[in-house]
């Protein structure tokens, strides 16, 4: 890949990926990995995905666990590096928006129109 100008980051507003979404990683070392979003940090536009970007951390011994040791924990990744998986299409899709009759905004799959906020 050619190294040119840095891509313009033009993201703002609320994040479209939320906790409990099932996403796939589309860039980086964990590309292709699927997982559930277990946390998000909107301030830095990052999400934590179950089983993705595991980093080893040293655990200090506690009273319950005298030995301490090394545990694996997920690190946050850029929200732009993941894409939501539509359960109907069973593939990564783009998210669209739709306003319901009661004024509530929901996210929909741009591919099939399925609502992504059913729960």
Piece in contact with Zn ion (CB under 5 A), picked from 55-63, 73-81, 98-106, 111-119: 111-119
Q: Is 106 in the site for Zn ion (CB under 5 A)?
A: no
Q: How far is Cα 65 from Cα 115, in angstroms, rounded to an integer?
A: 44
Q: Is 89 in the site for Zn ion (CB under 5 A)?
A: yes
Task: Please identify, using beta-carbon distances, which residue of 36 and 88 lies nearer to Zn ion.
Answer: 88
Cβ closer to Zn ion: 75 or 112? 112
The label of the residue with tokens 């069973």 reads 90
Q: Could you give the angle at the alpha carbon of 74 between the alpha carbons of 82 and 16, nearest 5°?
A: 30
Distance CA 57, CA 16 (A): 29
Q: How far apart are CA 81 and CA 44, in angstroms?
A: 13
Please identify which residue in 88, 92, 95, 96 interacts with Zn ion, judged by CB under 5 A: 88
List the interface residues with Zn ion, window 22-81 (CB under 5 A).
Answer: none
Measured torsion, CA atoms of residues 14, 15, 18, 22, in degrees rounded to the nearest 10 = 150
Q: How far is the CB of 104 from Zn ion (least distance, A)?
A: 20
| 114 is an interface residue for Zn ion by CB under 5 A | yes
Query: Which residues in this chain contact Zn ion in the complex, by CB under 5 A?
Result: 86, 88-89, 109, 111-112, 114
């Amino acid at each position: 890949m050619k190294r040119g100008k840095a891509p313009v980051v033009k993201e703002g507003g609320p994040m479209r990926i939320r906790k409990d979404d099932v996403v796939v990683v589309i860039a980086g070392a964990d590309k292709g990995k699927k997982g559930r979003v277990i946390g998000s940090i909107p301030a830095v536009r990052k999400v934590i995905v179950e089983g993705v970007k595991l980093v080893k951390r040293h655990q200090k011994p506690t009273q319950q666990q005298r030995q301490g040791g090394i545990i694996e924990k997920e690190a946050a990744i850029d929200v732009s590096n993941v894409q939501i998986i539509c359960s109907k299409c069973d593939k990564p899709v783009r998210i669209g928006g739709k306003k319901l009759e009661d004024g509530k905004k929901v996210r929909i799959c741009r591919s099939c129109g399925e609502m992504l906020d059913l729960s």
